[in-house]
Structures are given as structure tokens and as C-alpha cells.
Structure 1
């Protein structure tokens, strides 16, 4: 229902506008207090790059974080990651991830990022504490934050905003009448805008020097138990599941790739999976296919016919070069 209010034709969202104005007023006042330095931000001794979004829901932020880690690492930079760790609950914060850290402790995205990249990852509700832990344990050149555009308690050097190329900003209103955490005019002040997928919009026209388009490219399917890799066309009788904020994007991708999908099942974002929950979704003769974000929560009890589909973000070289140029300028100014 809420998706239809935000992104569909349903105009009943006006009933929620009074609450949106309250949310927007609080958000604007809070941001202004940080700008005026009445509320204090903690500044890291190494550059902080925020990877965030203006709207609620999955815009492709995590694949972008992974792509930037790989790009910056290939240029010789030592990269660390901090995150709120949404959905996780650790005994103590900040938490530095290792090979045994679970999604119950750290949340889905941080575990996924760590498993894919093996760079240092720390989570904490207070991201400044996560940064300090990383710097205590590792010598780093730059720290990326997975989300946190609105976490102004952590000072940032570069802001990168990801925009869903298809859904954009929906009706444009603040929550709960719309999907926005901040209004679209916030794009004026960010350093880079990354549009996920092709889109018919005027963002690139408004901000031509800092807007880039990325594409999500599916890789081979991977077996959860054996790590065997197969081309997607070699999987048959697929029952696809997705516990992400926009499951239909995953299902549409499978259709575009001509996957042999016989059934799809959507779950809530950050769904906690159990063997009992998934047991009746697929027979032994069928294939259960999930997102990589879902797979990190299912490896401990996976069955032989369970597979996941990793996704890579393909970025223009110019976008990476612009971030590197900004980092180089900061290094020069700090020396």
C-alpha cells in the first residue's frame, strides 16, 4: 500500500502530508543546526566518503559501495567501510567484522560487503565510533560509509548520492506521505550523483558536471553450499525469492535474462530467513534462487539446490576519476 502511495497513482498520500511537514521541519532544522555548528560533527583524520540516498529503500547503494572499494583499491588506496548495521544487534559497539560475524550481529549489507571485498568493515549506531575503531586497527587512506547521508554527526569530505533511475523520487514528499528523507534540492550540495540504470529525467541536465549513470550487471549464479558457479541459463525450474526493498527489480532482471523462472516470492526488506520459512518454497527437483543480500543470511542452513545471483555495479571511469581527484586535492590541502 505504501509503495502505491509513494510511487503509484494513488493520491491519498495527501492525508499524510501534515506528518510529512513535521518530519521535513525537524530534518531541515537539524541539518541547519549542524551547518551552524550548534550541533557538533566529529571529523576524521582521513577522508570520509558518504554513499547515501535521499529516498527510502534500495537504490543500488551497496553494489556501488563494492564497486568503489574495488576501484579505489586498484589504485593503491587502503579502504575501510563503516555502516549503521541496520537489522543487526551486536553485544557491543563498535563492532569490527570478521569471517565469523553474522547478519544478526552486523546487519545484511555490512556482512555482504565484507564477504565480497575483505576490506575492514566496522558497524555502530554512532558511525564516528566505528571510524575510530577502524583507524585504531588499520592504516587507511579513505573510509566509505554505507548510507549515512543524513547522519550529520559524522563530518564528511565527499557526498555521493544514488538515485533509482526508474522510481526516482516518487511523489517527492518527505516521509510518510512520500519516500524522501530530504528533498530533491539537496542534490545541489552533493559532490556526485549516481543514477542507477537508464532514466528519463532532467537530473543530468541540472547537474551535468557531477551526474553519472551506473548499470547493475548480474554475474554467474553461485551455489550456497559448494560455491560452484554456473551461467544462469543452466539453472532450471527456478523459484526466485527476494527479501530486499524492491523485490520486483530482481524478478524483472531475471525475466530480462530469460531465466527459467516458474515462481517468485517476495519478502520484507531485511527479512530474517529460517529453514522452516523456506522449506516449502521449492522441491528437490527445483532451484531456489535468491539475491546475494539474502544469501548471506542462509548459508548456515542452505540446501544443495539453493543458489544466489551476485550483482556488480558498472561505473563510468570518469566517476571514479572525479572521486580520486577530490581525494587527491584533500590530501594536498591537509599536508
Structure 2
């Protein structure tokens, strides 16, 4: 965690020196959203329903495990889901369909993980409308789309908005960037369909998610799984590595060292020169390291679990969406 991030979540006074820049951020973001609300900028509606899974804070809130859970729920409801994502940190000149054989530096770590784990078609491109159109043209059986981390991409019309919130850190000091961690004001939560707190109790949300450790699996397939009482070196490049450390500890691992990098860090073999196995990393980081992995490297496989009440509420929304959807694509 950077000094700025610690300031956001620990209430450091010096963060408020950045308030003038937060005001500018608010003016620009409010203007942009107002242009869409008043129809000056146009929304584009695809031919299938769109569910946005996002957040109003920077950093990790558990969107990837939630999206994997949502894919499974949609299949159980009879849908054929597809996923669109930005492809953070990669340069794309056109929408690209992600396959299991892609490299993370070509399509992004999270989209690659989603493609490998969900079994759903995944398309990456910063323009979510173009990504959605490409997905539907390549995969015509898809009848519902999940837009990963697309809450602020207002050009793409959406039918459901689900916002993930870190149950441990909440919304930090409640300020917009850069004085705080918020992309939008907390009042934005009143307009979304569902809010879900990840890994901690939080008042006023619609659902709670927990991450259950499944196993510590090797990056090299020929190795056995790692016993959960082993001393390990943690390696992570995610938005909230402290949550990963807690999960490892709660699973029974003895943490001998922690090596945390910036979110989406592009790992190379040099990053591991001085680290002694066994190493334990997140699954998102493992997809970037598999091509040069060595013996003794493992990733912590987790599974999202949502409370039954939320699952029931979401299922009702999905059934309603199925019965109401039938319009053609176009400009709203």
C-alpha cells in the first residue's frame, strides 16, 4: 500500500491538501455524467441485457471472484453469459477475444483469469460498446453480458449495476480522488441496483460476500498441492494485498515474508531472484507468472460465497430482466 493509500484509509490530515484537485475531479466527472443524463451524450444499448460489476473506489474490492460467481449463477438461471473488460495495462487497437492461451501482457491479467476460470467468452477493449458488439458478433449464443469494472463507462447502457465495496476498508475518508479513494461520491450508491460488501460487515448494503480458500495449487501442474500449515513467502500485485495476507493466515499458512507490488505489476523472472520457495501468490498474479514459473511456486485458489438473501433478490431481478428484455440495439 502506498503512502497515499494509507492516508486515505487512516485519515491522514495531509490528504486534504489535495482537496482542490478533488474539486476539479468532481467538476469534470459531474459534467460528464450530466451530459449523458440529459441526452447530450448518447447511451448505446446492445441487443442483450448488460450487467455492470464495478466499484466507486480505486483498488481491489473483489470484482473478479464476484464475476466468476455471477457467471455460475447466470448459467444456473439458463443464461449464456459473456464478459467484456477494459484490458488494464495493455495496448489494444481493436477488440480482442481472450483465449486461455493468451498472455497476460496481451490482454490483461484479470480478463485472462476470467477467461480461464469462467469458461465464458471474454472480450477486452477500453470502449465497452465496441467490446460488446465484437463479443456478440463472435459469440452469437451469448444472451447476457457482464461488463467488468464498467460502472463509470456511461456510454454503454446497462440494465443492472452491482457495486462491490471493501468490507474492511469501506469508502476510506469519503473524498474523491486524489484526496481520497473515490471515483464517484457515496451518493452514487443510491442509484445502483445492488451493493455488496466483500470480506467484512458493512451496514446499508444489499449483500455480503466471503472468499473461501479452496487450495494452494502449484503453477507447475506436476507438483502436488501445498499443505496449509506450511511457511510461505507471499507475493501479490493486487489492489488490496492485506486481504490476501489475511486469507492466507486464516487458511493456516505461516507467513515468513511479504512481497507486495503495485496493482497489475507486470512480473518478470527478475522479481523473484531473491525469493526462497515456497512462494504463495494470488491467482490473478499466477496467470502472469506461469510461463516462467519454478518448482515451489503456488497460488491461493479462492471461491466467492454470497448470502442467500442477496442471491434470491438478484435471481428475481434476473427473471424480471429475462421477461422484459426484447428491444433492439441502438442509441438511447
TM-score using structure 2 length: 0.93
Equivalence map 1:53-132=2 (5 Å):
53-90=55-92, 92-132=93-133
2:224 matched to 1:226? no
Alpha carbons of 1:303 and 1:231: their partners in 2 closer, same or farther (altered >3 Å)?
A: closer
What is the match of residue 214 of structure 1? 209
Structure number with the bigger relative contact order (C-alpha 8 A, sep ≥ 6) is: 2
Distance 2:251 2:131 in 1: 39
User: Offset at 1:227?
Assistant: 6.1
Distance 2:325 2:63 in 1: 29
Equivalence map 1:142-161=2 (5 Å):
142-161=144-163
Alpha carbons of 1:299 and 1:248: their partners in 2 closer, same or farther (altered >3 Å)?
A: same
Distance 1:129 1:224 in 2: 34
The 8 Å contact of residues 220 and 229 in structure 1, kept in 2 or not, is answered as: no
Equivalence map 1:182-201=2 (5 Å):
182-199=184-201, 201=202
2:293 matched to 1:302? yes
Deviation by residue 1:214-235 (Cα, 9 ceiling, x = unmatched): 101111111101165525425x
User: Offset at 1:272?
Assistant: 0.8
User: Offset at 1:331?
Assistant: 2.9
Deviation by residue 1:283-333 (Cα, 9 ceiling, x = unmatched): xxx301110010000010100111101111101233233333223223322
Distance 2:192 2:172 in 1: 20
User: Offset at 1:334?
Assistant: 3.3
What is the match of residue 231 of structure 2? 237
Secondary structure of 1:51's aligned partner: strand
What is the match of residue 283 of structure 2? 292
The 8 Å contact of residues 81 and 119 in structure 1, kept in 2 or not, is answered as: yes
Secondary structure of 2:46's aligned partner: coil
Secondary structure of 1:219's aligned partner: strand
The 8 Å contact of residues 88 and 108 in structure 1, kept in 2 or not, is answered as: no
The 8 Å contact of residues 48 and 325 in structure 2, kept in 1 or not, is answered as: no
TM-score using structure 1 length: 0.93
User: Offset at 1:62?
Assistant: 0.7
What is the match of residue 203 of structure 2? 202
Which shifted more, 96-105 or 152-161?
96-105
**Ranges in structure 2 where 5+ consecutive residues have no aligned partner:** 327-332
Secondary structure of 1:310's aligned partner: strand
The 8 Å contact of residues 166 and 200 in structure 2, kept in 1 or not, is answered as: no
**Ranges in structure 1 where 5+ consecutive residues have no aligned partner:** 205-210
The 8 Å contact of residues 237 and 285 in structure 2, kept in 1 or not, is answered as: yes
Deviation by residue 1:169-193 (Cα, 9 ceiling, x = unmatched): 0000000000000111111110011
What is the match of residue 180 of structure 1? 182
Which shifted more, 100-109 or 152-161?
100-109
Deviation by residue 1:208-259 (Cα, 9 ceiling, x = unmatched): xxx110101111111101165525425x331111111111211122222220
RMSD after superposition: 1.5
The 8 Å contact of residues 33 and 154 in structure 2, kept in 1 or not, is answered as: yes
The 8 Å contact of residues 226 and 298 in structure 2, kept in 1 or not, is answered as: no
What is the match of residue 2 of structure 1? 4
Secondary structure of 1:233's aligned partner: coil
Secondary structure of 2:45's aligned partner: coil
Runs of 4 or more off by more than 4 Å in structure 1?
none
Distance 1:156 1:245 in 2: 26
Task: Report the number of matched residues.
Answer: 323
Distance 2:5 2:319 in 1: 41
2:244 matched to 1:250? yes
Distance 2:222 2:51 in 1: 32
